[in-house]
Amino acid sequence: MNTFTHNVVVVTGASEGIGRALCEALAPQRPKLVLSARNAERLESLADTCRQAGAEVLVVPGDLTRPGDCHHLVDAAMERFGRLDTLVANAGRTMWARVDEIEDPAIVRDVMELNFFSLVTLTMAALPHLKAAHGRIVPVASIAGLTGVPSRSVYCASKHAVIGFFDSLRIELADTGVTITTICPDFVVTQIHRRALDGHGRPLGETPMQESKIMTAEECAALMIPAMAKRQRLLITSWRGKLGRFLKIVAPGAIDRIAAKAIAERK
């Protein structure tokens, strides 16, 4: 089924990683894609690829930590296409540092600004149009939003906030026809790890992950599309994530040890 044919789909963080892979995978269904990220050059490159595959594309560069850019993205989509069917809130950043290594709490606020507050602002701007279309909201969280992960405490906090917000919003929207599919990927090969902040607020410059052992962005996107199409409540992309969600309830000490081991094995 080509669920997203002619569907107006806004994707944030579209220039690379999961966002880019998702757009490329959706394009053959001939959706109307609205691509957002800060890097206009990479967005235009993606737009060319998606147009060649059959999609109609609008590029709207912007920094979603600025509320005005969130509203501009929604306004641009409505002006071009007249409706908004699907919002994929994917933009985010990560951080690799123990709490006792963080020099300035402002770094924590920076991560929360993009990973959580921008999603809230964008969702609030888009919500009237999504209600009119009986649309979909697809927040991209993480399995780190389901449990604690050492050296990822700030990132975990931001993704816990995303899951809590959209779980609550789902209940509020129950009679509107708008559905929420929360995506919780395990580790994915993307540039986000190279730009992860350290305790000084500086990009790492190289990934701390053994990328040969983790899921590709294309594999993640392939799992996302059917979950979005079915309006599935939650997608956890790995058996480890599903097990961790269960163990957190019945054996919380065990999941702490598994999380510590997972990080140690990937360094």
Q: Is residue 69 part of a domain?
A: yes
Residues of the chain with pLDDT under 50: none
Domain total for the chain?
Answer: 1
Which residues on neighbouring strands pair with residue 216, listed in sequence order? 189
pLDDT at 260: 78
Q: Is residue 97 part of a domain?
A: yes
For the whole prediction, is pTM greater than 0.85?
Answer: yes
Full domain range(s) for residue 196:
8-238
Q: Is residue 253 part of a domain?
A: no
155 is catalytic: yes
**Measured distance CA(176)–CA(33) in Å, rounded:** 24
Find the CATH number of the domain harbouring 172: 3.40.50.720
Q: Is residue 157 part of a domain?
A: yes
pLDDT at 251: 82
Catalytic residue chosen out of the listed positions 155, 165, 166, 187: 155
pLDDT at 31: 98
pLDDT at 150: 84
Q: Is residue 30 part of a domain?
A: yes
What's the burial of 193, exposed, middle or buried (CB within 10 Å: 0-12/13-18/19+)? buried
Q: Is residue 259 part of a domain?
A: no
Q: Is residue 265 part of a domain?
A: no
Number of residues in the chain:
267
